[in-house]
Amino acid sequence: MEMVVFPNAKINLGLRITGKRPDDYHNIETIFYPVDLHDALEIVCAGDDVKQDMLKATGIRIDGKPEDNLVIKSVRKFRELYSFPFLRLHLHKAIPSGAGLGGGSSDAACILKIINRCFRFSLSLEELKVIALGLGSDCPFFIDYTPSFATGRGEILQPVASVLSGLYIVLVNPGISISTREAYENCIPGDPEESLFHLIDLPITMWKKMIINDFEKFVFMKYPEVGLIKQNLYSAGALYSSMSGSGSSVYGIFQDKTEIPDSLKKNVIFEGVLR
Active site residues: 10, 138
Distance CA 239, CA 144 (A): 28
CB 77 within 8 A of CB 131: yes
Order of all β-strands in the sheet with 26-38: 8-20, 26-38, 148-151, 156-159
- Interacting residues of 121 by C-beta distance below 8 A, sequence separation 6+: 81, 82, 115
How is residue 177 annotated by DSSP? P
CA-angle at 204, arms to 198 and 210, nearest 5°? 55
Residue 87 dihedral angles phi and psi, to the nearest 5° = -120, 145
CB 272 within 8 A of CB 168: yes
